[in-house]
Amino acid sequence: MNLQLAYRDAYARSVEGRVVAVLEAGGASGASTDATGALVVLDRTVFYPGGGGQPADRGSLLRAADGRSWAVVAARKQDGEIVHQLEPGIEPPQAGDVVTVDLEWARRYALMRTHTALHALCGVVWRDYGAQVTGGNMEPGAGRMDFEFERMSGDLVGEIEVKVNEELGRGREVKVNVLPREEAFAIPDLIRTKINLLPPGIPEVRTIEIVGLDLQADGGTHVANTREVGGIKVTGYESKGRINKRIRIELVQPEAAS
């Protein structure tokens, strides 16, 4: 399995890697230039492959030997490996090539801030209203979260926005841990979603903790402190049924990491 640095260090923007294989879109070996672009497997990568509502990273590969570069338009998990999808219609690098793997950092950092903001939202709603998450999604700088929250109202949503911004402003540390399965599932309320989405039988569980506010199983990338998020603005809420309610948010300053 390739070394997948995003799970260890969300701030790693670049790494040197070696091309292990070039796959067709369907997964077979070979240099594909079809409409979906070739899939490149590296021995190490900083790309996040998407999951849990967080989109996959974008970026580029730069070959050390001749300076040729390729845009990476998406990434995903395939047979346990993170594979990098190139633009269609171009000849990919070859197995054995050494490349520099670079993230589109501004986009990734915006996703990190957004993901942490959504965890803060979830933490406040769970702590103060006891509502479980039924779904969620995000893009850089904006996201939405669905809750089993029958009594949600406009006034309540305004109250939630104030509380989330108070928590973000406290400068709470955000910690990543990988725990043995038994230890993780002994934590009360580790799974906040209505349906447990963790694969059965996994030996370890990755957790994200906003210290003093929220602790959940999660595979995405996050900032190290809630102050990096800045704040949120609730841009809307809507009913998705009698019980299921949706809150939409956008980020406010700061906008970028140094």
pLDDT tens digit string along 29-74?
Answer: 544 444 679 999 999 999 999 998 999 999 999 998 999 999 999 9
Please check whether residue 234 is in contact with residue 157, taking contact to mean a CB–CB distance below 8 angstroms: yes
With a cut of 60, say whether residue 28 has pLDDT above it. Answer: no
Q: How many folded domains does the chain comprise?
A: 2
Please check whether residue 218 is in contact with residue 112, taking contact to mean a CB–CB distance below 8 angstroms: no
150 domain-assigned: yes
If asked whether residues 99 and 183 sit together in one domain, one would say no
Q: How far apart are CA 217 and CA 47, in angstroms?
A: 20
Decide which of 56, 80, 103 is a domain's last residue.
103
If asked whether residues 161 and 181 sit together in one domain, one would say yes
Region of 37 on the Ramachandran plot (φ > 0 left; ψ -120 to 50 alpha; else beta):
left
CATH number at residue 219: 3.30.980.10
If asked whether residues 68 and 126 sit together in one domain, one would say no
257 domain-assigned: no
Scan for tokens 């845009």, then name that residue. Answer: 71
pLDDT tens digit string along 175-234?
Answer: 999 998 888 878 877 765 655 555 666 788 899 999 999 999 899 999 999 999 999 999
Q: E-strand spans in 2-68?
A: 3-4, 14-23, 39-42, 44-45, 59-63
Decide which of 103, 122, 149 is a domain's last residue.
103
Please check whether residue 75 is in contact with residue 85, taking contact to mean a CB–CB distance below 8 angstroms: yes
If asked whether residues 54 and 176 sit together in one domain, one would say no
If asked whether residues 83 and 122 sit together in one domain, one would say no
With a cut of 60, say whether residue 240 has pLDDT above it. Answer: yes
Q: 44-45 and 3-4: which strand pairing?
A: parallel
238 domain-assigned: yes
If asked whether residues 44 and 141 sit together in one domain, one would say no
If asked whether residues 147 and 42 sit together in one domain, one would say no
If asked whether residues 90 and 147 sit together in one domain, one would say no
258 domain-assigned: no
Q: Of 45-59, 97-111, 139-153, 192-206, which range is least confident?
A: 192-206
If asked whether residues 83 and 145 sit together in one domain, one would say no
154 vs 73: which has the higher pLDDT? 73
If asked whether residues 97 and 116 sit together in one domain, one would say no
Q: Model pTM?
A: 0.90
The whole domain housing 203 covers 108-252
67 domain-assigned: yes
Decide which of 45, 69, 103 is a domain's last residue.
103
> What is the pLDDT at residue 31?
44
Instruction: Give me Rg for the CA atoms of the chain.
Output: 20
> What is the pLDDT at residue 24?
77
Residue 256 confidence class, pLDDT cut points 50, 70, 90:
low
Mean pLDDT (whole number) for 155-179: 96
184 domain-assigned: yes
> What is the pLDDT at residue 244?
92
Please check whether residue 37 is in contact with residue 8, taking contact to mean a CB–CB distance below 8 angstroms: no
If asked whether residues 155 and 215 sit together in one domain, one would say yes
Q: How far apart are CA 221 and CA 111, in angstroms?
A: 8
Neighbours of 26 (CB within 10 A): 10
157 domain-assigned: yes
If asked whether residues 87 and 193 sit together in one domain, one would say no
CATH number at residue 10: 2.40.30.130
> What is the pLDDT at residue 32?
41
138 domain-assigned: yes
